[in-house]
Structure 1
């Protein structure tokens, strides 16, 4: 609402003004951003018991026109599934001890918990709860939880050598970190630098560096921080994990459009041949 008010908006607002506001920022702000602005304007009115101008036909048609004109196809990064991770770990094992421990924990836990890169770097030691069969991570805030209600994500022990829980424990033991940000910067001398957490972009750089070592520059361009979360959804769907369980891990609403992007292709690949 701050942006809306800064550009002459007020509550109550007329449909004509809201439509003009949208049109003036079409092509300047992303379509998704304009949609969030509309939601905020709608709530600002309904919270006061006022009729929402966003429901007006003029406003709806204006936004629909903007959406048709300026929407660009979302870039789909490569999903890193289990086999990809196992191969990545072989190359990460060639790194120096501290960096190897951190990067292994970032990638394995990021995948197993289906975390966004912002959620990975926001983790603190205090957010880890140990159980006999694994660990629980407290996600304090996420992209779709701006109010900070939080959610808990469980990571069980894995049977194989690449266990996320063991990788995280090894990183904590080697780094000596006992409180505060869980993942921190490491210097070229393989020493932890300061007490600040990694920034979200660091997760993408860790993944890209490992993929570049494994498969080259072109392959590295196809992955990002989101590749771990996408990989979990893809792997879980192909393994037949129920959608509601996948949604519980990722924090999606069951049946959400974004989750279905991973579920549907995996389901389609299971269609038997009729020939």
Structure 2
């Protein structure tokens, strides 16, 4: 039963909560108190200690949720329901919150310029990076979705291709999402770049290997590693930003810039809202609206409609 109960959260969430709960456990055991069940006043004192040490609101929120999670699994009274704990958490959100610095999106023209720069290259390393950039941008993909793709998750049609997203942050109940991407007309066409990458890497859509894997060089030859393991976040970030940086200047870009860039470009192009939301796999309007940076012309329409 304990194993089934822990399955109510994702593996990464469980790992996060366990980590924060162990820190609480170490703190309270040194004071001679009980970590489970925890006394509400002890929990409040621990959060006060974190506040005095200037921990961010994210750390304090994770600590509170880890205590709630641990007591819930044991069927014990939740110490975080105490008014002291709730008010201290609100204090952290109000006073320890740091301004959000969102990654800035690249434009469609930037991607066209990047692909034009490497249009004649047959180096698998360059083509792999370009393919990741275009799929992430056109499919509104998070990096964990992009890195989890396998060759047999691809289905080619005459004028488009489909990607099966088997693991997604928004897919709480493991539903398989299918993303369709149309064939383009420019050098930055995701359809043609994906076919080019598969051909250069000697992969087919019937293979079960990870689509994007690390590369190695032997003399003048560059190949994907034979072991089927996904490209790490750190290495992918280094490669993708390295390709984009000469064309983006001082923009604050990261891997999530691809998802936000595709979403913003589509939203400002008048794409049907329902289709746009489905393509991005957002569960709620509030989450999808966070990705939209309306263009100046769209924002000016509001005052123009006032007919002043």
Pick aligned residue for 2:150 from 98, 105, 124? 124
Query: Which residue matches 1:31?
Result: 57
DSSP-derived class of the 2:162 partner: strand
**1:186 matched to 2:203:** no
DSSP-derived class of the 1:184 partner: coil
Query: Which residue matches 2:284?
Result: 254
The answer on whether the counterparts of 2:134 and 2:190 sit within 8 Å (CA) in structure 1 is yes
TM-score by length of 1: 0.82
The answer on whether the counterparts of 1:175 and 1:192 sit within 8 Å (CA) in structure 2 is yes
DSSP-derived class of the 1:262 partner: coil
Equivalents in 1 of 2:274, 2:202: separation in Å? 37
**1:59 matched to 2:85:** yes
Q: CA deviation at 1:110?
A: 0.9
Query: Which residue matches 2:292?
Result: 263
Deviations 1:187-215 (A, max 9, x none): 46451242332111233223322223335
Equivalents in 2 of 1:133, 1:209: separation in Å? 31
Structure 2 CA distance for partners of 1:159 and 1:139, relative to 1, 3 Å: closer
The answer on whether the counterparts of 2:24 and 2:35 sit within 8 Å (CA) in structure 1 is no
The answer on whether the counterparts of 2:38 and 2:79 sit within 8 Å (CA) in structure 1 is yes
Equivalents in 2 of 1:19, 1:133: separation in Å? 59
Q: CA deviation at 1:238?
A: 0.5
Query: Which residue matches 1:98?
Result: 124
Equivalents in 2 of 1:106, 1:207: separation in Å? 8
Deviations 1:232-253 (A, max 9, x none): 1111210223444333233332
Equivalents in 2 of 1:62, 1:211: separation in Å? 43
Q: CA deviation at 1:155?
A: 2.6
Query: Which residue matches 1:81?
Result: 107
Q: CA deviation at 1:167?
A: 1.5
Q: How many residues align?
A: 270
The answer on whether the counterparts of 1:113 and 1:153 sit within 8 Å (CA) in structure 2 is no
Equivalents in 2 of 1:158, 1:5: separation in Å? 50
Q: CA deviation at 1:127?
A: 2.4
Q: CA deviation at 1:133?
A: 4.7
Pick aligned residue for 2:252 from 210, 214, 222? 222
What are the ranges of 5 or more consecutive residues in structure 1 without an aligned counterpart? none
**1:164 matched to 2:190:** yes
The answer on whether the counterparts of 2:103 and 2:252 sit within 8 Å (CA) in structure 1 is yes
Query: Which residue matches 2:24?
Result: 7
The answer on whether the counterparts of 2:214 and 2:224 sit within 8 Å (CA) in structure 1 is yes
The answer on whether the counterparts of 1:117 and 1:200 sit within 8 Å (CA) in structure 2 is yes
Structure 2 CA distance for partners of 1:37 and 1:242, relative to 1, 3 Å: farther
TM-score by length of 2: 0.74
Structure 2 CA distance for partners of 1:82 and 1:52, relative to 1, 3 Å: same
The answer on whether the counterparts of 1:230 and 1:262 sit within 8 Å (CA) in structure 2 is yes
Pick aligned residue for 2:235 from 198, 202, 205? 202
